[in-house]
Chain A
Amino acid sequence: MYEIANDRYPVVFDLLEEAIKSGGVPAAKYVGMSTGPYGVRVHLSEAPTPAEQTAVENAITAHDPALLSADKDTIANDGADVVTITVWCPHTSGSSVVFVVEGVAVDPVDLDINKRASIELDASGVLDRSLSVTVQGFDSETLEIEVIE
């Protein structure tokens, strides 16, 4: 059992794992990945070649997560109810982020000193039962807020 360790934390687990898997580690050698306050550990059944080691380290270093959270799980479709979406981009050197709401990029929002930014959204214009939000240019999953009558 071999491990490649890196102190990058936090991460978007599924996106980083996909990048590592597609980055040059043979499937037969890949055992899995773990994350915690210690960072990232990539578990391998055999020692990596120098090229595989470099590929994994590059994938981790290139990982630039945008971690999304919301202050509520549902929003009323009345145009008045609002949800506050917050993003945390812990490793970015940039100063702003662009939220993508229902597939449409909105104006850039400045990151604060803690590399966080927030926007308030209502459900007007939502055509289905879900308000979707992601962040442009980062490793970000899509946050879905359930829209209710």
Chain B
Amino acid sequence: MTWNNPATRTTGDLINASIWNTDLVDNLLALKNPPSAVAEVATNYTSSSNIFVDVDSTNLKLTITTTGGIVLAYFGAELAVGSSGFSQITVAMDTVNVAGTNGIGSFSSSIGSETQNFLYYIDGVSAGSHDFALQWRNTDSQSMTLRGAIRYPIQFWVREIS
């Protein structure tokens, strides 16, 4: 069920079943089940790429059909950072990085292996189908690992909120 902007009614308007179902029932169902997609992947990934690349273009790329507005993206996983430089994680919407040059999360080599997560607000998303891919890189080309198979799975989700 998708959102339909309800019309403004005035005194004396007849609210028939069609209007009720469109303005109230369908919209309440749309609010209860907004466009969203979730990936939970119990697998380890390793990369040394110094340019942002997909972590897994099959299992960690999500597609939702939005009504247009704001999308929240969440990432959480244990990340073993590279031995130098910064291990950076971002989200690409339709192949375009939604954040700046350094991505959404930039993690120093001094932190070792820790749980990392972020929630990111993506505004101005047009209505229609969009791909959201989790991407990463290490600025010094050092190998980094997302450890989804050790303690808990990698979680990545997107959800339209407005």
A interface, CB within 8 angstroms of B = 1, 13-14, 17, 31-38, 41, 43, 45
Q: Which residues of B contact A32 (CB under 8 A)?
A: 47-51, 53, 137-138, 141
Given contacts A14-B143, A17-B143, contact A34 B45 (CB under 8 A): yes
- Complex Cα distance, B58 from A102, in Å, reads 42
Q: Which residues of A contact B53 (CB under 8 A)?
A: 1, 32, 34, 41, 43
- Complex Cα distance, B145 from A14, in Å, reads 12
Q: B109 on the interface (CB 8 Å rule)?
A: no
CB of B143 within 8 A of CB of A31, answer no
- Complex Cα distance, B1 from A138, in Å, reads 55
- Complex Cα distance, B53 from A41, in Å, reads 10
B interface, CB within 8 angstroms of A = 43-51, 53, 55-59, 137-138, 141, 143
Q: Least Cβ distance of A20 to chain B in Å?
A: 10
Q: Which residues of B contact A45 (CB under 8 A)?
A: 51
CB of A36 within 8 A of CB of B56, answer yes
Q: Least Cβ distance of A13 to chain B in Å?
A: 5
- Complex Cα distance, B59 from A126, in Å, reads 45
Q: Least Cβ distance of B33 to chain A in Å?
A: 30
CB of B55 within 8 A of CB of A33, answer no
Instruction: Please list 23 pairs of residues, one from A and one from B, whose beta carbons are closer than 8 Å in the complex, sorted by A's number.
Output: A1-B53, A17-B143, A31-B50, A31-B141, A32-B48, A32-B51, A32-B53, A33-B48, A33-B49, A34-B45, A34-B49, A34-B53, A34-B55, A35-B45, A35-B46, A36-B43, A36-B44, A36-B45, A36-B55, A37-B43, A37-B59, A43-B49, A45-B51
